[in-house]
Structure 1
Amino acid sequence: MITFTDVRKVYYQGNQEIVALDGVSFEVKPGEIFGVLGQSGAGKSTLIRCVNQLEKPTSGYVTVDGQEITKLSGIKLRQSRQRIGMIFQHFNLLSCRTVAENIAFPLEVIGYSKLKQRAKVEELISLVGLAGKANAYPAKLSGGQKQRVGIARALAGEPKVLLSDEATSALDPQTTRSILELLRDLNKRMGLTILLITHEMGVVKQICDSVAVLNAGKVVEQGRVSDLIAKPESLLAQEVFPRRNGHLARPGAVLATIAFAGEQAKQPIFATLARRFDVDINILSGSVETVGDRRVGQFHIELEGAKITQALKYLHESEFEVEVH
């Protein structure tokens, strides 16, 4: 649905060259929630604005729904943008318009009749959980309610793609969860493809199917979220499962990291190792997390016993991710 191919974006301040995106490539599948994770200054906002051509890449190209949007201009670009909705960190609502009037604004631009506008607005207000708020002004709404208006407005033109530009970073944790649940529900119900940028690992864990990690304008890691978190060496895994540094193994013992996902999370693996190979297991740190609909775990352990090699081989053969330190 969205493809970035070797996208580079350069800004100039006088004679100084500032590289915001440096050879970015990734693909978002139809119906997927794809996260772009990175800290401030990583290039996230520039990246998402390249999708609807609010920013034009210096080189490389972007396709949306099979159409190379970087080649479009004028009427064709405006028509393409109608299939791309966008929600913002600070809502960007029109303070002089009611909830219904804010949602209706893009419909006015498209040229819907008043009758069609009214029907569509009523449908969207119900869809995002704002029943009874049609005549309220933004000043009377909570942050979560304002973002629901922003989501409804973004959906007014029936887009195939929804862009989320740090849409929950101005909200409290409970409201963030409710907005993310709404986005996931819309994704499933409407088959909506969502490209979501964030600096919060919790957002990626809660709703993203896949992720690209952006650092200094470069994609340094990408893949399915649960697969990456299940790999001990991945950046995502190290963010979710911080390691306990400084532990020295006892003489004859081995330090290892064991990671697993899905059905493996149901296995009593430590009990199996202790019983089958007569090894002592000291758990140094670790936990099991739910990522999407999969359970993913990682544990840092110390193994001691005569059959450590056989125990590690058994873990490999059972398709656990194992890293020996």
Structure 2
Amino acid sequence: MITINDVSKVYGRGEKAIVALDAVNLEVPQGEIFGVLGESGAGKSTLIRCVNLLERPSSGSIVVNEQEITSLSGPALRKARQRIGMIFQHFNLLSSRTIAENVAFPLEVMGYNRAQRQERVKELLALVGLENRARAYPAQLSGGQKQRVGIARALAGKPDVLLSDEATSALDPQTTLSILELLQDLNQRMGLTILLITHEMGVVKQICHRVAILEAGKVVEQGRVSDLAAQPDSRLARSLFPRPQSYAAQPGARVLTISFAGESADEPVLSNVIRQFDVDVNILSGNIEKFGEQRIGQLQAEFVGGQFDAALNYLRNLGLRVEVNE
């Protein structure tokens, strides 16, 4: 649905030039939720604003639903933007308009008549659970309700893509969860492709199918969330499953990092290894995280004595990812 090819964005010139994006390449499959994760200043907001050309890239191209957005301007660009909804961190609602009027605003711009606007607004407010607040003003709503209005407004033109610019970072944890559940429901019910940026790992764990990690304007890692989490040496896994520092193994011992996914996260794997291969196991650290409906865990343990090579082969034959720490 979205293809980003070698996109760079540079602000300024000469010695004062700031490289916000450096040859970024991403592909967002249709119907998926794709997260871009990074710290403040990594270039996340610049990237998402390039997708609908609120920021025009210095070089590279962006294709949305088979249309090269970066080649457009004027009326053609405005028409293309109608198929790309966007929600913002601070909601960006019009304080002098009611909730219904805020949602209707893009429909006015698109040329819908009054009856069409009223019907569509009614549908959208019901979709986000605010059908009883149509006549309220933004100042009368909570942060979560304001963001629901922002989502309804972004969906007004029946977009193919929804862009989310840190849409939950100004909300408390419980409200964040409700907004993420709404986005997940929209994705599943409408097949809506969602590209979101965040600095919160919890957002990625909760709803993202794929993720890209951005550092200093460069993509340093990307892939399916479940695959990256199950790779002991990935950046995503290292941030989720921190390992003990400076551990001195016993003489003759080997330290393994074992990644579990799906049903294997619930199996008594280590008990079986101890019984079958006469190995002493000392657990150093361990954790299990839930990614959508899938459970992924990582365990670091010291193996002493017994049939180490046979135990190692047994674990790998179970389909587990095992890293031997020398």
Residue 234 of structure 1 deviates from its aligned partner by 0.4
Residue 14 of structure 1 deviates from its aligned partner by 7.0
Give the equivalent residue in structure 2 for 1:92.
92
Give the equivalent residue in structure 1 for 2:164.
164
Q: TM-score, normalised by structure 1?
A: 0.98
Gap regions ≥5 residues in structure 1: none
Distance in 1 separating the partners of 2:286 and 2:129: 38
3-state secondary structure, aligned to 2:247: coil
Give the equivalent residue in structure 2 for 1:232.
232
Q: TM-score, normalised by structure 2?
A: 0.98
Give the equivalent residue in structure 2 for 1:130.
130
Q: Is 1:310 the counterpart of 2:317 in the alignment?
A: no
Give the equivalent residue in structure 1 for 2:152.
152
Q: Where do 1:207-246 residues align within 5 Å?
A: 207-246=207-246
- Give the counterpart letter for 2:103 in structure 1: I
Distance in 2 separating the partners of 1:203 and 1:34: 11
Residue 104 of structure 1 deviates from its aligned partner by 0.4
Distance in 2 separating the partners of 1:244 and 1:173: 28
Distance in 1 separating the partners of 2:255 and 2:131: 56
Give the equivalent residue in structure 1 for 2:191.
191
Distance in 2 separating the partners of 1:36 and 1:233: 19
Q: Is 1:12 the counterpart of 2:12 in the alignment?
A: yes
Give the equivalent residue in structure 2 for 1:73.
73
Confirm or deny: 8 A CA contact 2:284 2:301 kept in the other structure.
yes
Q: Provide Cα deviations, 1:138-162, integer angstroms capped at 9, x if missing partner.
A: 0010000000000000000100100
CA 1:61–1:317 in structure 2 vs 1: closer, same or farther (change >3 Å)? Answer: same
Q: Where do 1:247-262 residues align within 5 Å?
A: 247-262=247-262
Give the equivalent residue in structure 2 for 1:46.
46
Segments ≥4 residues shifted beyond 4 Å: none
Number of aligned residues = 325
Identity of aligned residues (%): 66
RMSD: 1.0
Residue 263 of structure 1 deviates from its aligned partner by 2.8
Q: Provide Cα deviations, 1:162-203, integer angstroms capped at 9, x if missing partner.
A: 000000000000000000000000000000000000000010
Confirm or deny: 8 A CA contact 2:280 2:306 kept in the other structure.
no
Residue 264 of structure 1 deviates from its aligned partner by 2.2
Give the equivalent residue in structure 1 for 2:83.
83
Distance in 1 separating the partners of 2:256 and 2:4: 37
3-state secondary structure, aligned to 2:26: strand
Range with bigger deviation, 211-220 or 235-244: 235-244
Q: Is 1:268 the counterpart of 2:258 in the alignment?
A: no
Distance in 2 separating the partners of 1:72 and 1:264: 50
Gap regions ≥5 residues in structure 2: none
3-state secondary structure, aligned to 2:19: strand
